[in-house]
Amino acid sequence: MTKTGTDTSSTTAKKLRLPALKIQQGPGRSLYTFAMDGKLVPQIATVSRIRRDGETQLHGYQRPEVLAHVAAIRRYIETDASPLLPNAIVIAFDNRVRFEPAPADEAGPDYVESGTLVIPLTNGPEHDRPGFIVDGQQRCAAIREANVEAFPISISAFIANDTADQRSQFILVNSTKALPKGLIHELLPGASGALPTPLRVRQLPATLLERLNFDAVRSPLHRMIQTPTNPTGHIKDNSVLRMLENSLSDGALYRFRNDQALPNAGEMLTLLYNFWSAVEQTFPEAWNKPPRKSRLMHGAGIISMGYLMDAISHTRDENEGIPDAEEFAADLKLIADDCRWTEGEWTFGDGVVRKWNDVQNTPRDIQRVADFLQNRYRAHRSASMRG
């Protein structure tokens, strides 16, 4: 089916001029709402899909289009059933876009101003478009591919040159939807502005995780953590986040704060690099393998070893500084023969015996492994000190 429509916009000197409303939503923050033919959206905005460049810097912030969902929306648009897409597309523009107020006419709310939004049209590469689609990429894709001449849609837009601000808006718009948590966690280190408290609390551990995963020079966990931009990693990102959050709340990482209770991420990372380097040295046969072949790389192993990192750190005088990898390795060797990461059976303190690959990523099993490792470490350490 083919539908026709009339677009009320005008193009002058490669600029799109669209009637719009400017809505003041807070100090220094304006929202622009307008309508345009959805077929024209690709000329002014692109989808910035999440990726990392050769230097592991994060770019973009969107998940790939879901083809089945796009196809379903397209079929709906092409029907004779008077299709309606009432939700606005959200676009972030850079400061090449400007708003021209209309002459004042009748009185209205002081937070609303009518005028014209002027959007430049570019012939360069797609990433040079003045806008990025923050929400609605699947609807835009469906309209783009639909067999219709035109399909007017409502658009809400804001102007923000800073990519961090765009990412924050993307997280806020999508945090109540079925957005993969891993994607939110990977975006958090580069987000700025006001975030909900649960996300703000996770920003520091997400930042530490990012460096553990992408510091090719210092991190023993380089590209071993599975994230949207590193899908081949063996360790689940959520397991590492839980390990970090536990230590930040009351473990070894908690003490790396200055007088204003602000975190010293550099010292935190030094401790993490040193400890996990020691783990690699102590358990080479269990290192960097899929969890089905090594419970050290499993959620139960990562989280319980985090608790052991805290226990070892707490036995040391803070004035001695951060233990280096060799010092951590000396302590880990005390319990090396007690561990069953790739074969054998665990004999836990409560009398439970588990085959190595029967240990699961459950709170009870994690606590069993964590308690076992800490108890064996304290017992061996006490024996070595007596000897």
What per-residue confidence (pLDDT) applies to 325? Answer: 96
Burial of 15 from C-beta contacts in 10 A (0-12 / 13-18 / 19+) = middle
Mean pLDDT of 342-358: 92
Phi and psi of 126, rounded to 5°? Answer: -60, -40
Q: Please tell me whether residues 124 and 254 are part of one structural domain.
A: no
**Tell me, what DSSP letter sits at residue 65?**
P
Q: Please tell me whether residues 148 and 91 are part of one structural domain.
A: yes
Q: Please tell me whether residues 147 and 71 are part of one structural domain.
A: yes
CA distance 292 to 296: 10
Domain closes at, from 134, 155, 177: 177
Residue 299, in any domain of the structure: yes
Q: Which token pair is 57? A: 């810097």
Residues shown for the chain = 387
Residue 189, in any domain of the structure: yes
Residue 3, in any domain of the structure: no
Q: Please tell me whether residues 341 and 370 are part of one structural domain.
A: yes
Among residues 208, 209, 167, 204, the alpha carbon closest in space to that of 184 is found at 167
Q: Please tell me whether residues 48 and 88 are part of one structural domain.
A: yes
Evaluate whether 147 touches 3 at the Cβ level (below 8 Å).
Answer: no
**Tell me, what DSSP letter sits at residue 29?**
E
**HEC sequence for 353-375:** EEEHHHCCCCHHHHHHHHHHHHH
Q: Please tell me whether residues 303 and 325 are part of one structural domain.
A: yes
Q: Which token pair is 112? A: 């609303």
**Confidence class of residue 2 from pLDDT cuts 50, 70 and 90?**
very low
Residue 351 has a CB neighbour count (10 Å cut-off) of: 6
The pTM of the full predicted model, rounded to 2 decimals, is 0.61
Residue 4, in any domain of the structure: no
What per-residue confidence (pLDDT) applies to 326? Answer: 96
Q: Please tell me whether residues 53 and 160 are part of one structural domain.
A: yes
Domain closes at, from 149, 177, 205: 177
Q: Which token pair is 339? A: 């561990």
Q: Please tell me whether residues 220 and 350 are part of one structural domain.
A: yes
- Displacement of CA 288 from its chain's centroid (Å): 23
Q: Please tell me whether residues 296 and 194 are part of one structural domain.
A: yes
Residue 229, in any domain of the structure: yes
**Confidence class of residue 164 from pLDDT cuts 50, 70 and 90?**
confident
Q: Please tell me whether residues 311 and 237 are part of one structural domain.
A: yes
* pLDDT tens digits for range 262-308: 688 999 999 999 999 999 999 999 999 999 999 999 999 999 999 99
Q: Please tell me whether residues 297 and 352 are part of one structural domain.
A: yes
Answer yes or no: is pLDDT of 6 > 50: no
Residue 145, in any domain of the structure: yes
Domain range for residue 341?
184-386
* pLDDT tens digits for range 55-112: 677 665 555 556 778 888 999 999 887 889 999 999 989 889 999 999 876 667 888 9
* pLDDT tens digits for range 310-343: 999 998 877 778 999 999 999 999 999 999 999 9
Residue 167, in any domain of the structure: yes
Answer yes or no: is pLDDT of 54 > 80: no
Total domains, the chain: 2
Domain closes at, from 148, 177, 206: 177
CA distance 167 to 173: 10
In this structure, the strands spanning 152-159 and 29-37 are: antiparallel
Mean pLDDT of the chain: 86
Residue 224, in any domain of the structure: yes
Token pair 């302590």 is at which residue?
331
Q: Please tell me whether residues 275 and 324 are part of one structural domain.
A: yes
